[in-house]
A and B are shown apart, each in its own frame.
Chain A
């Protein structure tokens, strides 16, 4: 397998242990929806975490099982609870893409960044941001590097960096060591979900200027 199309093991370990911010968590989860290989690896990572949790000796809590059984009769159900489990029966990413697009305004505030590329910020918190990126066929993104991590998962279409094609479900891991210039393939519009830490670092002056107004 090509390492560049899947999250590095460290990402899966972080995901398994719950170390990731919401933005990166969602990008990894999206890749997992479409990747059985990484789901198997995630199971390994979770099993290791389980062994660590249960290898230690126990210290009994004051709470008893009966307290819970009696409270369950009194307490209301827990809305909003999201238990985790397997990712079987996952929807395909095309459906996911159209779900995102159907959010529409005002959830998606598309901003053109020139060259047939638009971005919408989905979520932002203390330096970590989640973006939806939409680029016309053949669009060439400005050449840029990063001041932190950038994880991108393709929801629709494809883009090329050097000679590597990233298509639906593929994950690109670019950090401060990477300078890249994604080029969208000419076949279709490309839609990606990307998590970033810290601002991007553009090589060209025009992009740097635009950055000040867009907050990318």
Chain B
């Protein structure tokens, strides 16, 4: 099920007025986006190989950007007189890349102890914390990621906790505040983590110390959230007429129906929002058996899993993930760094992509990997080919664009090159699925935020100013 972004913006859920009330309470935003696109004129990219992100490849095609939106994609487009024309001959054009799993800003460079803001490792359930409140907008990693074509990213809390808190979706634009990067209207994510990490972190700190302890921890939290949700049900629009035999202080479901829910609980707000589907659930989880357990947990409490992250064993249950409409946000080749990562294979993404309705995502979880998601995808394609699975570029590009957008609930406005969507676009010097590919130009909402050949269009963090100036070049 897709949740249209507009529905989220308007705080009107597709499920009707009841949920709309709940959503407005659980997902109010006192820290709203102040992002405004950089003013820019129309841009016409001509004669390029265009991967639309919808599964199509267009050769010798044009892309027209205007007023921050994609206006048209096709052959021989005409452009307004004031359009900047970009010669795309020999170049490839794709939607801006999207990383669903980043810790930029919360574990920034330089990795100082003062900057270690990604894990609120003080309790196993910290659904009350929001990653955005840890984001340091001056992380030079944002700009390095931009040079790799990243236009949007979800910054998540780390995986120390069973329930780590809310993740935030950002537009990858330089700003002095995170609100200036905050993707307007994007739903929050809820970060959860399975397996080794929580039990390792809390094993000597009161638990959980086992996988069964992990599951008991999620269940306890969601039981509280279900109760909270019930207490926060809105009063019926027209109160039921009271019968003579009903006392004034009870009977029926008057207790919960009339309950205001009491004092707001930030932790339960987030979990209730997740149950309602307004906050999208992203679960760090490696092993196939644990993925299946988490799907059962989701059913038990009525929430939907947007994506399993890392899932090095997702290939073992690829059919089930596809059938349940759950994405796998995965690495191309990481494995073996801990026991639950021992069965990683290089065809994981290709196998999760293979079933009808499969939703494979290339994610980074790395300030290095986010700079070259295209190369990660290229490795998957090469390994798929070796295993007899040929994957065309127009299909593979979805792993870095449409599919992460879907899992983040922003596919209505970005992730593909379709008329009306945000003009988040990358111009590559060649087929992007190569180690030699460079993002030459990156557009966010139609503005050229990065240009490989123009230093005036290469942002630099405040932190990097004046570094190395002391020696004045002396050796």
**A and B interact:** no
Chain B residues in contact with chain A, CB under 8 A? Answer: none
Chain A residues with CB under 8 Å of chain B are none
